[in-house]
Amino acid sequence: MTTRRGLLASIVTVAVIAGGLVIWQQVRSTCPDAYSAAATYLPDDEVTFNGRVWRATRSTISDNPSTRGTAWADAGTC
């Protein structure tokens, strides 16, 4: 049972918020590669930039994730 509990803890993080609301968040086992201004990204590609994970919402070249334009969506931390 301890092994099972450890495996579950490594896969999913559970946060209980006041009022009994439970939020499940997938924990990443690895972080995506760092953002490169020279790379071409396709929709759903992920990068790491300034400690956050960003997911491309459209094809993009040299659009910086920190500008939070339409090219990138914040996908949390890793």
Annotated domain spans of the chain: 2-74
Kindly report the number of other CB atoms within 10 A of residue 72's CB atom: 25
Q: How far apart (Å, rounded) are the C-alpha atoms in residues 56 and 14?
A: 26
In angstroms, the Cα distances linking 40 to 8, 60, 71 are 36, 6, 12
27-65 per-position pLDDT tens digit = 566 889 999 999 999 999 999 999 899 999 999 988 889
pLDDT band at 16 (very low <50, low <70, confident <90, very high): very low
pLDDT band at 66 (very low <50, low <70, confident <90, very high): confident
Identify the CATH number of the domain defined by range 2-74: 2.10.10.20
